[in-house]
Homo-oligomer: A and B are copies of this chain.
Amino acid sequence: MSMDLLLLSNSTMPQSDYLEWTADDILTFVGDHKKVLFIPFAGVTLSHQAYTDKVQGALPSLEIKGVDDFEEPSSAVQWAESIFVGGGNTFALLNKLHTSGYFDLIKNAIQAGKRYVGWSAGSNVATCSIRTSNDMPIVCPPSFEGFNFFPIQINPHYTEAVVENHGGESRLDRLREFVALNEEPVLCIPEGVGVWVQGASLELKGKYASKMLQKNGRLVEIKHNQSYQIGALQAM
């Protein structure tokens, strides 16, 4: 079982078009696996078709089909060489992956070698669980478990900035609460960063430094453009 995943922190950088910052990465990653099934379920206030069209517009050299282009989830997943899961609300996404019957089909297809690209919510569901999502819990999914492609949590859109004079917890406060109650370390990826997973190894690429929050609450910088064994990162 050799998995290929590209997990992006976000879709859009300031003053830049949708997926523009990472379009070349996505094309490199999928290579000639250009038949793409797009999963739009995280987009609560956007129709499936509108969301799928937006992604096709950002990546014109790929052949992108949406879930509504198929009669059955099984034929959609079978047709696809790559599966893209877009951002939005993580709870809505995970819930609909289950109610639609796509969850197990996608998990099996990726474990069997199809390529997976996720951004934001689509990166959260690729990990062991959605417990480090930044989103509002607007619907209750059957569980918080993700596809569990590897045993590290991701916090996308990671930032240490706070809204001034506001008493709510900072991002780091929230993540420290996570590690206080759980065993998994958290890979904190700022916007503009992608996590490239190939089998048991992982590499980060992007402009800004990423960090790993360990069980003991320590925050360790993870080097970009360097391959890590996932097991080593986990034990770090």
Contact = CB atoms under 8 A, between A and B. Distances in A.
A89 B182 CA distance: 14
B167 A191 contact: yes
Interface string A115-135: 000000000000000111111
A50 interface: no
Contacts of A136: 131-134, 174-175, 177-178
A168 interface: yes
A1 interface: no
Contacts of A161: 163-164, 166
B13 A44 contact: no
A36 interface: no
A92 B167 CA distance: 19
A196 to B, nearest CB: 21
Interface string A26-50: 0000000000000000001100000
Contacts of A176: 45
A156 B136 CA distance: 13
A162 to B, nearest CB: 7
Nearest to A190: B166
A12 B181 CA distance: 24
B167 A14 contact: yes
Given A140-B143, A157-B167, 10 more contacts: A10-B168, A11-B167, A130-B137, A131-B137, A131-B140, A132-B136, A134-B136, A136-B177, A162-B163, A167-B191
12 contacts: A10-B168, A14-B167, A89-B177, A92-B177, A131-B138, A131-B139, A133-B136, A137-B144, A138-B177, A138-B181, A157-B167, A157-B168
